Amino acid sequence: PLTLIVLLLWKYVLKFENADEIPHYLIVFTALFVIDVFRGAFMSDDRINGLNELKKYWNIFLCGLLYIAPLEQKKRKWLVAVFFIAAAAAGLSGIWQFFVASQRGHGYAHPIHYATILSMASASALAMLVIKNGIFMSIKSRVFLGAIVIATLGGIVSSETRGVWVAFIIACLFVFSIYSLKRGLVVAAVFAAVISLTFAFSAPLKERAGTIITALKTKEDPTRSASERLELWRGSWRIFLEHPAQGTGIGDFQSDINRMIGEGKIKDLMATSHAHNIYIHWLSTQGITGLVILIALLASLMAWGIGAIKRRRSVGGYIIVLTTALIVIGGMTE
């Protein structure tokens, strides 16, 4: 929050000139998305919970201001380095929690949130390691990036969050293959070797990885996560059918799911705070209107990144596409 305040003062009081531009269409869809979140919060029966959700979205403004801020290359490098070091510390905490404390790696958050956020930093560091860029090019810098990738990937693996594992692998292979098929194949080979070795020495991870394939076969067991998700999706669809146009409100999902359970329309569930699918969740809470805006925002982010790649300006375009792909793919099950 302090960084956001400083950037706002820098931009609107000292009035710095933009070092880069964000496309107008992206600003429009971002504004529509934020307005739709406000709409969902105010129409919620649990308005306090709905308004509490808004605290997540100040990051949008922070990231936008950081992108256009006129920083010297050396200062921008230090800023990115601090970001990566913080991510590595989070990754190491998850590794310690898994191997020493015998629990899912989570840092100080929910394991799914932890893995998803960490995947953004890990994918960005990997992109800067694989793709030529004007910031981290020396041998020391590349060793630094390699260490960041190892620490953050370790944290992601230790979280046992299967949806993020799958999203990370697919998104990275897709984007790196666009950059260079040869480098994409090299990344795939390294992934395969590291994953094989890691899972070979850890029975819990090996079993967890195996459930990615066998998950749907265990749907009759209500304690299994696959069964939980299928039941949540069924309940979310029922909520959507009750309020198809605008949804029930961003703060009402948990109470609506609990109502469905109480009425016997779906089975009892252990976790009811989220649908474990961002599209179905948004459909039930924000309706068709909200889902269209969400998809438009993701599409505009992807278009922005692809446009930057075509202009061959920097590694930034690849990172934009990569992190958006992580959301698009991972959001199907997390």
Q: Cβ neighbours of residue 327 under 8 Å, at least 6 residues apart?
A: 278, 298
Residue 48: predicted pLDDT: 85
Query: How far is CA 89 from each of CA 97, 113, 145, 331, rounded to the nearest angstrom?
Result: 12, 16, 14, 25
Residue 193: predicted pLDDT: 81
Residues of the chain with pLDDT under 50: 219-223
Residue 222: predicted pLDDT: 43
Residue 281: predicted pLDDT: 94
Residue 214: predicted pLDDT: 61
What are the DSSP E strand ranges found in 180-266?
none
Residue 223: predicted pLDDT: 46
Residue 108: predicted pLDDT: 86
**Cα–Cα distance for residue pair 84/103, rounded to 1 Å:** 24
Q: Cβ neighbours of residue 200 under 8 Å, at least 6 residues apart?
A: 206
